[in-house]
Each structure stands twice: as structure tokens, then as C-alpha cells.
Amino acid sequence: MSTTMTSVGRISDTEYVMERTFAAPPDRVFAAYTTADLVAQWWGQRNNTTVVEALDVRPGGSWRFVQRDPHGTAFEFYGEFLEVSPQKLINTFEFAGYPGHVVIDTVTFEPHESGTRVIASSRFSSKEDLDGMLASGMEQGANESWDRLAELLAR
């Protein structure tokens, strides 16, 4: 089974979709997305540490992750869960360094062969917001995070 990114890419001026199949059942992949100590092990770039300050996985619940680079610089990300089920998470996503630019992320967890296909769709407020996120290294960061998730699920 493939555990590499199948990046669907930009599907409109304001939407980007990524897909990957993980060698783990949907309940384990969903748990990795919704359990604070597991999220801290895979979310973000490998050279950074992630602290999960909030992860209230229910509609209306908030989440906040703080990453620190090797120099101690903090990067804060936060949002609110809009929809939660074992098959789908929908949440807002904001970067504290660029406030007011809200992304709507939808992540689905689909059984696929003996694993789980994860499809992550990000809807941006404008073409400029998506362009800026791509220029900041979004694809590389997502690939690195999902590589780390695959490693976590393999343990």
C-alpha cells in the first residue's frame, strides 16, 4: 500500500486538495488527528516541536497548536471545529502571524484496501491567500507532517 502523497493540487483559485493513503485503519488515523499527545508527535515540521494547547474535538470546540523552531521562535495556529464525525473533520485554520485570513479545512477518512485514504481540502478566502500559503511552503510542510503521521501509525 502506498503511503506517499498523492497531491491533487489546486482545484480552483481558492481551493487546494491533498490526498494520501495510510497503512492503518480509519479509527487509528482519526485518533491521530484528534488526540493531543498523538497530534504533537506528527503535526508540523520535523525540526520543530509542537505543543497542543487546546484540542476540543466537537462542533464549536477550539484547537490551538504552538510550534517552536530550534531557535525558540513560536508559531501559533488555531481554529474552531465546525463538524466532527469519525469520517470527517471540518475546522477553521488561522496562523497568528497572519490573523483574519481564515481557511476552512475539510479532512475525510475513507477505508481503502487495508488502510485509510485521507483527503484534505483547504478553502481559502481569496486567491491571494492561497498563493501566499503556497509561497510559504504549505506543500512541503504538509508532506513532512504526513510523513511523520505515517511513521507514527507504523509504530
pLDDT in tens, 112-139: 998 999 999 999 999 999 999 999 888 8
Tell me the pLDDT of the chain averaged across its residues.
94
Residue 18: CB atoms within 10 A of its CB come to: 20
Band of residue 48 on the pLDDT scale cut at 50, 70, 90: very high
Q: What CATH number is given to the structural domain containing 38?
A: 3.30.530.20
Give the amino acid at 80.
E
pLDDT at 92: 98
% of the chain exceeding 90 in pLDDT: 88
CA 117 – CA 141 distance, rounded (Å): 19
Q: Number of folded domains in the chain?
A: 1
Q: Which domain holds residue 138?
A: 5-154
All residues at 6 or more sequence positions from 140 whose CB lies less than 8 Å from its CB, including other chains = none
Distance from chain centroid for Cα 81: 13
CA 118 – CA 128 distance, rounded (Å): 26
State pTM to two decimals.
0.93
Question: Residue 16 pLDDT > 50, yes or no?
Answer: yes
pLDDT at 2: 43
Question: Residue 5 pLDDT > 60, yes or no?
Answer: no
